[in-house]
């Protein structure tokens, strides 16, 4: 399969352009990614297709979370007044604005409801900056200025940290953003109206998705248009999307600030990041401790960033929803559609308890992070 293309770079565009493309011109076609063969990418070893158990539910939010509803039985006040969503202005091909547009509550025009790819890319870049700002100082210094790149390979659902020509980069795929947008809508629908759209959407993807094909959108009428326009649902889907993407980005950032890659790793108890990366490519078991560490740090990151927000505080719920999707879709699919995220990360059955235990510890200790070695 040909290497994925990166048609857009989000945030810190000049750094990424000089490190990876050698040019900042917006008139030249984007280069093939990577330019000189595959870059270092963390966790590329396949993990097989063991049957995964169904993840546990989100559970109850801890004391002190204000008006956040219990998952599965939310309570909402009157819906906020609708506002008009204005699409972001046109930007040069190589850059995107770092400020996220204000979410709309006019359901039919909401960017998540419409799966607005450009908005999703911009929002993900802005969310990554928010997560970096929430990191401890030492970790923040290691990842400050790392660019976020988009891979638009049809059907690829993945996110990974990588090194390209010695420069660190974060990569997410349009496929992952698409899946996340529909999962966020489904979870919001279930929370507000008591439906089972998460289960329905997972079953739909497992039944219809084909390898290396664009993500199949749900059919017309899958969501009730009247429910889609409800302001409570729209507000909820924005929170869920941030929880999902925030965990994924926090996990991949951790591979960089914990030194799991040669471009951001240093000397450690197992040697340099380059040495450890070499071991992980040949002996998959070496990936497991680092993936667990990245899940731990990613959970702490999303909770810390969420605690800094006013109003709703982000939780680990989106991470568990993401695990539920990959676990169930793999079991239900009649053919092998194993997404890149499955291939490059441990099974959800291993990751779910790590996420849950880390979140519980963060709350019990008042926001203390699990200490992790930096290589």
| Long-range pairs of 107-111 with CB within 8 A, sequence gap ≥ 24 | 107/82, 107/228, 107/229, 107/230, 107/231, 107/233, 107/234, 108/225, 108/228, 108/229, 109/84, 109/85, 110/85, 110/234, 110/237, 111/85, 111/87
Is the pLDDT at 94 greater than 60, yes or no? no
pLDDT reported for residue 335: 57
pLDDT reported for residue 333: 61
Q: Per-residue pLDDT averaged across 278-286, rounded?
A: 48
Q: Per-residue pLDDT averaged across 279-288, rounded?
A: 53
The more confident residue out of 181 and 14 is 181
pLDDT reported for residue 166: 86
The more confident residue out of 26 and 366 is 366
pLDDT reported for residue 328: 87
Q: Per-residue pLDDT averaged across 95-121, rounded?
A: 68
Q: With bands split at pLDDT 50, 70 and 90, how would you rate the model's confidence at 337?
A: low
Q: With bands split at pLDDT 50, 70 and 90, how would you rate the model's confidence at 283?
A: very low
pLDDT reported for residue 41: 55
Going from N- to C-terminal start, the domains of the chain cover: 8-19+97-364
pLDDT, tens digit, 9 for 90 and up, residues 147-179: 999 999 998 888 999 888 889 999 999 999 999
Of the listed ranges 102-111, 130-139, 332-341, the least confidently predicted one is 332-341
- Contacting residues for 33 by C-beta, under 8 A, at least 6 apart: 3, 4, 5, 6, 20, 149, 151, 164
Report helix, strand or coil for 173. strand
The more confident residue out of 151 and 347 is 151
Nearest one of 302, 311, 291 to 351, comparing CA atoms: 291
Q: What is the residue-averaged pLDDT of the chain?
A: 74
Beta carbons of 47 and 284 less than 8 angstroms apart:
yes
Q: Per-residue pLDDT averaged across 17-46, rounded?
A: 38
pLDDT, tens digit, 9 for 90 and up, residues 118-154: 999 999 999 999 999 999 999 999 999 999 999 999 9
Q: Per-residue pLDDT averaged across 310-334, rounded?
A: 87
Q: With bands split at pLDDT 50, 70 and 90, how would you rate the model's confidence at 256?
A: very high
């Amino acid at each position: 399969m040909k290497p994925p293309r990166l048609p857009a770079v989000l945030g810190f565009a000049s750094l990424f352009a000089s490190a990876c493309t050698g040019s900042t011109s917006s008139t030249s076609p984007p280069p093939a990614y990577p330019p000189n063969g595959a870059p270092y990418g963390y966790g590329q070893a396949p993990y097989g297709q063991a049957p995964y158990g169904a993840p546990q539910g989100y559970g109850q939010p801890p004391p002190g979370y204000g008006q956040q509803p219990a998952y599965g039985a939310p309570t909402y006040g009157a819906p906020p007044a609708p506002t008009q969503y204005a699409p972001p202005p046109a930007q040069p091909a190589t850059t995107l604005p770092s400020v996220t547009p204000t979410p709309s509550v006019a359901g039919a025009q909401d960017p998540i409801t419409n799966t607005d790819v450009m908005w999703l890319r911009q929002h993900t870049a802005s969310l990554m900056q928010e997560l970096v700002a929430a990191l401890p100082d030492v970790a923040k210094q290691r990842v400050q200025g790392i660019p976020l790149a988009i891979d638009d390979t049809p059907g690829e659902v993945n996110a990974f940290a990588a090194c390209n020509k010695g420069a660190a980069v974060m990569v997410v795929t349009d496929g992952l953003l698409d899946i996340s947008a529909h999962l966020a809508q489904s979870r919001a629908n279930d929370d507000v109206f008591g439906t089972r759209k998460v289960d329905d959407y997972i079953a739909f993807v497992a039944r219809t998705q084909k390898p290396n094909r664009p993500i199949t959108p749900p059919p017309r009428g899958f969501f009730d248009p009247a429910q889609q326009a409800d302001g409570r649902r729209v507000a909820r889907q924005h929170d869920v999307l941030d929880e999902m993407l925030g965990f994924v980005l926090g996990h991949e950032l951790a591979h960089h600030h914990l030194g799991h890659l040669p471009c951001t790793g240093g000397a450690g108890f197992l040697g340099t990041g380059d040495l450890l990366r070499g071991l992980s490519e040949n002996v998959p078991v070496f990936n497991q401790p680092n993936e667990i560490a990245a899940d731990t740090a990613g959970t702490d990151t999303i909770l810390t960033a969420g605690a800094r927000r006013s109003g709703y505080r982000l939780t680990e719920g989106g991470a568990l929803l993401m695990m539920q999707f990959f676990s169930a879709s793999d079991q239900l699919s009649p053919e092998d559609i194993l997404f890149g995220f499955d291939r490059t990360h441990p099974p959800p059955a291993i990751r779910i308890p790590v996420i849950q235990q880390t979140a519980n510890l963060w709350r019990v200790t008042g926001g203390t992070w699990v200490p992790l070695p930096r290589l």
